[in-house]
Amino acid sequence: MNQFASGPVLLTGGSGFIGSHVRRLLQSRGTPVRVLAHHADADSDEVVWGNLADPASLRGICAGVTTVVHTASVINGSEEACRTVNERGTAALVAEARRAGVRRLVYVSTAAVYGDGVHQGIAENAVAPAPVSPTSRSRLMAESSVLAAGGTVLRPMFVYGAGDRWFVPAVAELARRLSARLAGGRARLSLISVHALAEAVCAVAQLPTARLEGATLHAAHPAPTTLAEILDVLVEEALVPTLADEIGYEQAVAELGQGMSRRLGLLGFDHYYDSARLWQAVDVSAGPGFLETYPHCAQWYREVISAALPKPASGPHAVHRPGPVR
């Protein structure tokens, strides 16, 4: 049926980085939003209590909604924690949505499901997904449940903006620890502002249900951003020191250890994706790129990154290490 999924929305992850922006945008447009919550600080038109780690608690949560927007994920957890929430929790949520006759299901996944390698402007599934982390493996399995139900999957890579504690802070931390530009900063990366991603999620959620059924879409700004462009901004903001030297990937791994190889690989080599299909399908644009958008979230990053710096008055301390980029 060619119906618009414009009625009440059930939103998971409504207090998280991406989900909170989606929630505010939907509410600003007068869309009734029901937030799935398992703690007491949720704020919405309506809260429904449940936990993706407990499928029985999800029973009935989709009654009366036309759309489910699923942004909740365990990002930095053990294999079992990720499978419990991301894989099995998503499967249980999808089952509830199907039981309730939900017309539109949108899941925010990650382009990190493609795994390692140099990715240069590839289209959706132009290379076979080969996830290497518990987060990405379980999110790929979550995608399978959503797609089997006719839902739509969005795959952003690096998301930035107010609320980001993982991407730009991780870039700053690596730059400080290496005191050099990783691979000269030449890597081209797929970025999207959290505001643009929220716009895209809401647009997909409110498309006619016959469109994008069972589709997987990259979600990124059409023009990749180089690591050097990000580093230049951070240097200008005095959040990292001037970086006159460059360091290769292998040497960086040798200095920081194998535990950092995944993060160094993601930032040291090209990882950008063709997102034309998304922007052609929705009536919104990706907006300006990172350099134009950064000033709007500069204060957020000043506070978050500065708070992670060592405190000289308290003696030597290890630099705070934010969670993995993906």
Q: 201: which residues sit within 8 A by CB, 6+ positions away?
A: 18, 22, 69, 71, 106, 108, 154
Please give the residue that has the higher pLDDT: either 195 or 43.
195
What is the pLDDT of the chain when averaged over all its residues? 91
Q: What is the predicted pLDDT for the residue at 309?
A: 79
294 CB neighbour count, 10 Å cutoff: 21
Kindly give the pairing relationship between strand 119-122 and strand 271-273. Answer: parallel
Q: What angle do CA 76, 89, 62 make, to 5 degrees?
A: 130
| pTM confidence score | 0.92
In this predicted structure, the answer to whether residue 324 has a pLDDT above a threshold of 90 is no
Q: CA dist 173 to 26, 176, 255, Å?
A: 34, 5, 14
Q: For the domain with range 9-242+253-314, which CATH number is right: 3.40.50.720, 3.30.565.10, 1.20.140.10, 2.60.120.10? A: 3.40.50.720
pLDDT in tens, 233-279: 999 999 999 999 999 999 999 999 999 999 999 999 999 999 999 99
How is the chain split into domains, by residue range? 9-242+253-314
Q: What is the pLDDT of residues 146-194, one digit of tens each?
A: 999 999 999 999 999 999 999 999 999 999 999 999 999 999 999 999 9
Cα 277 to Cα 111: distance, rounded to the nearest angstrom: 15
Q: How does residue 43 score in pLDDT terms, banded at 50, 70 and 90?
A: low
Q: How many beta carbons lie within 10 A of that of residue 100, not counting itself? A: 17
- Kindly tell me the burial class for residue 309, based on how many C-beta atoms sit within 10 Å of its own C-beta (0-12, 13-18, 19 or more): middle
